[in-house]
């Protein structure tokens, strides 16, 4: 049995650079785990950072729909998908152990009431004949190659094509989030989420309270999310793609791996990037303020 990490890097160079830095963080904290990337890029550096570079099949759909086709791409028997705008800050062996015996799983919860991407959960459950929706952040998903996973992903693709009919809101204005398809598929196949009440697997900074304490080189991340202390091994920087903290940690990784002579200065270089981005953001805020005053 082979197990490995896979990510997707499509579109602009922004996603390509994120995927490269994700690979560097994986090299640091889980070096023996193979890495694969699905991409539309021919950048030769990818083959240095990933064990397998997989050309995207654009006919399968838009970039978000591609995530619902991971079963068609993964070269591994056991696959852990990690979004490219993530960094790994710890050993992931405990996640693999938690996934033993499962055909698939996710980080999230079962939801029967409330709303999800603008649609009423109870209404969607009735329309799709599922007991609940597996509401999740799809920054980390596990699946084991086989019939069960193939059926799960096919259910997700089928559900995704019904997003408009089911009353879901568009994501970023022109497409639907892949998390909708996954949420219905996990409910249809009654796939339980990972038991991660302590927030040790994957978390985003959405709902963060206070500061994030993170050092990708030393291997830790801690913050308070909606009142709960969490210490994820995978930090998915959703909504923080342009945050100074994300830039800082990525800079530290790049400097660390640039050469042995640079390694002692990696943290200092990251600190410089952090304060530079803080100053640039302050300048942009002032410019926006002046523009509003003039108008």
Contacts of residue 59, defined as CB under 8 A and 6 or more positions apart, other chains included, come to none
Do 180 and 49 fall within a single domain?
A: yes
pLDDT at 7 over 80: yes
- Judge whether 283 lies within some domain: yes
Instruction: Considering only residues 267 and 186, tell me which one the structure prediction assigns the higher pLDDT.
Output: 186
- Judge whether 214 lies within some domain: no
Do 263 and 124 fall within a single domain?
A: no
* Least confident span in 8-17, 176-185, 261-270: 261-270
What is the pLDDT at residue 132? 98
Do 63 and 153 fall within a single domain?
A: yes
pLDDT at 124 over 70: yes
CA gap 4, 172 in Å, rounded:
30
Q: Please, where are the H alpha helices in 161-235?
A: 163-166, 178-188
pLDDT at 145 over 70: yes
Do 249 and 175 fall within a single domain?
A: no
Last-in-domain residue among 188, 208, 229: 188
189-239 pLDDT tens trace? 999 999 999 999 999 999 999 999 999 999 999 999 999 999 999 999 999
Q: Are 70 and 150 in contact, with CB atoms under 8 Å apart?
A: no
- Judge whether 67 lies within some domain: yes
Q: What value does the mean pLDDT take over residues 266-293?
A: 77
**CA 135 to chain CA mean position, Å:** 15
**Which CATH number does the domain housing residue 91 bear?**
3.90.550.10
Q: What pTM does this model have?
A: 0.91
Please tell me the total count of domains within the chain: 2
pLDDT at 288 over 80: no
For residue 204, what is the DSSP state?
-
- Judge whether 201 lies within some domain: no
Residue 190 has a CB neighbour count (10 Å cut-off) of: 11
pLDDT-based confidence at residue 266 (cuts at 50, 70, 90):
confident
Q: Are 6 and 23 in contact, with CB atoms under 8 Å apart?
A: no
- Judge whether 126 lies within some domain: yes
- Domain containing 246 equals 242-295
Taking all residues of the chain, what is their mean pLDDT, rounded to a whole number? 93
- Judge whether 200 lies within some domain: no
227-262 pLDDT tens trace? 999 999 999 999 999 999 999 999 999 888 886 656
Last-in-domain residue among 188, 208, 234: 188
Last-in-domain residue among 149, 164, 188: 188
What is the pLDDT at residue 289? 74
Q: What value does the mean pLDDT take over residues 257-279?
A: 76
Do 18 and 121 fall within a single domain?
A: yes
């Amino acid at each position: 049995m082979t197990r490995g990490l896979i990510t997707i890097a499509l579109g602009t160079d922004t996603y390509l650079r994120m995927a490269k830095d994700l690979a560097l963080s994986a090299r640091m904290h889980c070096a023996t785990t193979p890495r694969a990337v699905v991409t539309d890029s021919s950048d030769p550096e990818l083959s240095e950072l990933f064990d397998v570079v997989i050309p995207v099949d654009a006919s399968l759909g838009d970039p978000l729909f591609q995530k619902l086709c991971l079963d068609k791409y993964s070269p591994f028997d056991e696959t852990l998908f990690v979004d490219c705008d993530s960094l790994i800050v710890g050993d992931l062996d405990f996640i693999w152990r938690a996934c033993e015996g499962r055909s698939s799983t996710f980080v999230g919860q079962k939801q029967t009431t409330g709303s999800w991407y603008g649609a009423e959960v109870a209404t969607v459950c009735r329309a799709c004949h599922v007991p609940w929706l597996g509401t999740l952040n799809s920054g980390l998903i596990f699946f084991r190659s086989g019939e069960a996973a193939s059926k799960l992903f096919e259910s997700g693709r089928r559900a995704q094509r019904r997003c408009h009919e089911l009353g879901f809101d568009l994501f970023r204005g022109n497409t639907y989030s892949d998390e909708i398809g996954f949420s219905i598929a996990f409910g249809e196949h009654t796939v339980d989420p990972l038991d991660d009440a302590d927030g040790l697997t994957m978390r985003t900074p959405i709902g963060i309270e206070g500061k994030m304490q993170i050092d990708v080189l030393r291997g830790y991340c801690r913050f308070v999310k909606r009142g709960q202390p969490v210490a994820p091994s995978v930090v998915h920087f959703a909504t923080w793609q342009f945050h100074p903290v994300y830039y800082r940690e990525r800079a530290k990784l790049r400097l660390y791996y640039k050469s042995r002579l640079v390694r002692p200065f990696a943290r200092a270089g990251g600190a410089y990037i952090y304060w530079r981005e803080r100053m640039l953001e302050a300048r942009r805020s002032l410019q926006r303020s002046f523009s509003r005053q003039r108008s």
